[in-house]
Structure 1
């Protein structure tokens, strides 16, 4: 559901959030639903404010019950430091709102259930989003850290895998809680959404890899690079798996090993990259040996 546009950013309410608000209305807890909306919206506003400050305004913000997804015209993975600050802004904003609510309760002595819900919702939003897995904020912090070590593509793949891992844990815990009558199936549905979003993030890794690779290498012109990076792989390894180990900014060379572990040839990154551009991702490395 499209809510409107603030500056250059469109605000969208996810259908699952709408369903949750409807369920809360039917259960007679509409104030809690509105407080949840305020908490999530504030969480995303904090992201957007820091993003605008960093010169990377989001195109849209989609609000989910556990947070939101900001979409940018330029991948944040190419700006790891900025991505880290933008990602951290959301949980810090949620914790700050929870702290203000706690201080207000101590000053006024208010003990209403809806107020406790508001405080707890912000704490849950803050801590849940710090889990290290995409598309959560913790996953973006993890990607920003790993990008310096393995590049944006591999870091995105790892973050997506971690996101799916936490989704499985959440779904399993939800099923156990439902079986024992502790909670409803809401966490299971949430886990399915998180798993799907993590899979979508993970699918972006080839694009991020190629774009970063060409920007840091051949986009600056041909020439002799100062540093080479050696890899070793068995002859039957598919090219798509090998390229994940490539690092932008270094010249990647692959030593091809036979069944006895002996080097039977060398393959340069150019041959592998050209083969991948032709769609030969599953082709074994030995096919490139001359």
Structure 2
């Protein structure tokens, strides 16, 4: 692991194994090129995140590409999340343009330009699949948070990601039906993604707590900005945990509490519930 300006750079063991395999098969230059493309892709994410004031904690190079780990913790606006997610594929488009330019100037051969362009297209398109932690999965999660509660967003995006990962594994194994070699690279990536998403799915309660830790600060900010409150109507017997799970990421809430006869008995700002949530959390 290498650390530079507060950001750690690490390489997943599977990525190292793939690089070692390239040494044995004589594709060292191609693998180094792929490594560079992935790194530039991730630096695009990191640059966009830094512009928005996010702290980039780590850049991980994985078998299918990479992941830029940030500290936003569910507190960033939807448009920022989408821009940061798209910043990686944009780097691939820029590299494709540069490759064609170098070819036209006579610096790159047609064969090498074709390989470089295909590698960028493959990485960009694969990362746009609606699977976390790929860029497409992050965009889907950001858009989903506009319409449903953040807790439900975490659950459903995790389920969608696992479903697509299983489909990827099934597609990789499909050649067995025709007694042909399986798509080994796709199988490894699918297994890695299903494991990563299953782990994240099990950690949804902890990820939600992280989201709630930023909620009080964001609530005060939205109040100062004059954001219109989005009502949540609950019964007086509704558990506190169930109420806060109704919070939407991009909304400020007022909670209307009804008694058994449907009469409003209290109107609470969401900060009251956030404070109570963490008070109960600390007691537990």
Higher relative contact order (CA 8 A, sep 6+): 2
Pairwise same-fold verdict (TM > 0.5): yes
Whether 2:118 is the aligned partner of 1:117: answer: no
- Over residues 127-167 of structure 1, what are the superposed CA-to-partner deviations in whole Å (9 max), with x where a residue is unaligned? 11112232111122222223333344333333322222221
Q: Which residue of 2 aligns with 1:229?
A: 232
The answer to whether the 8 Å contact 1:178/1:184 transfers is no
The answer to whether the 8 Å contact 1:8/1:59 transfers is yes
The answer to whether the 8 Å contact 2:55/2:72 transfers is no
Q: Which deviates the most, 199-208 or 138-147?
A: 199-208
User: What CA distance in whole angstroms lies between the structure 2 residues aligned with 1:6 and 1:275?
Assistant: 35
SS of aligned partner of 1:59? strand
The alpha-carbon distance between structure 1 residues 25 and 215, as it changes in their structure 2 partners (threshold 3 A), is same
The alpha-carbon distance between structure 1 residues 16 and 26, as it changes in their structure 2 partners (threshold 3 A), is same
Structure 1 residue 21 displacement after superposition: 0.8
Whether 2:64 is the aligned partner of 1:66: answer: yes
- Over residues 36-74 of structure 1, what are the superposed CA-to-partner deviations in whole Å (9 max), with x where a residue is unaligned? 101111101111122222222301100113221122233
User: What CA distance in whole angstroms lies between the structure 2 residues aligned with 1:142 and 1:135?
Assistant: 11
The alpha-carbon distance between structure 1 residues 219 and 51, as it changes in their structure 2 partners (threshold 3 A), is closer
Q: Structure 1 unaligned runs (5+)?
A: 280-290
Q: Which residue of 1 aligns with 2:208?
A: 206
The alpha-carbon distance between structure 1 residues 191 and 133, as it changes in their structure 2 partners (threshold 3 A), is same
Structure 1 residue 213 displacement after superposition: 4.5
Q: Structure 2 unaligned runs (5+)?
A: none
The answer to whether the 8 Å contact 1:240/1:276 transfers is no
Q: Which residue of 2 aligns with 1:187?
A: 186
> Could you state the TM-score of these two structures normalised by the residue count of structure 2?
0.75
User: What CA distance in whole angstroms lies between the structure 1 residues aligned with 2:150 and 2:177?
Assistant: 40
User: What CA distance in whole angstroms lies between the structure 2 residues aligned with 1:102 and 1:182?
Assistant: 35
- Over residues 70-110 of structure 1, what are the superposed CA-to-partner deviations in whole Å (9 max), with x where a residue is unaligned? 22233254333222211110011112212322443455472
Structure 1 residue 210 displacement after superposition: 2.6
User: What CA distance in whole angstroms lies between the structure 2 residues aligned with 1:82 and 1:182?
Assistant: 42
Compute the RMSD of aligned alpha carbons. 4.0
Q: Which residue of 1 aligns with 2:80?
A: 82
> Could you state the TM-score of these two structures normalised by the residue count of structure 1?
0.74
Q: Which residue of 2 aligns with 1:249?
A: 252
The alpha-carbon distance between structure 1 residues 102 and 81, as it changes in their structure 2 partners (threshold 3 A), is same
Aligned residues: 268
Correspondent of 1:40 among 38, 41, 48: 38
The answer to whether the 8 Å contact 1:231/1:253 transfers is yes
SS of aligned partner of 2:79? helix
The alpha-carbon distance between structure 1 residues 64 and 19, as it changes in their structure 2 partners (threshold 3 A), is same
User: What CA distance in whole angstroms lies between the structure 2 residues aligned with 1:182 and 1:77?
Assistant: 45
Q: Which residue of 2 aligns with 1:174?
A: 172
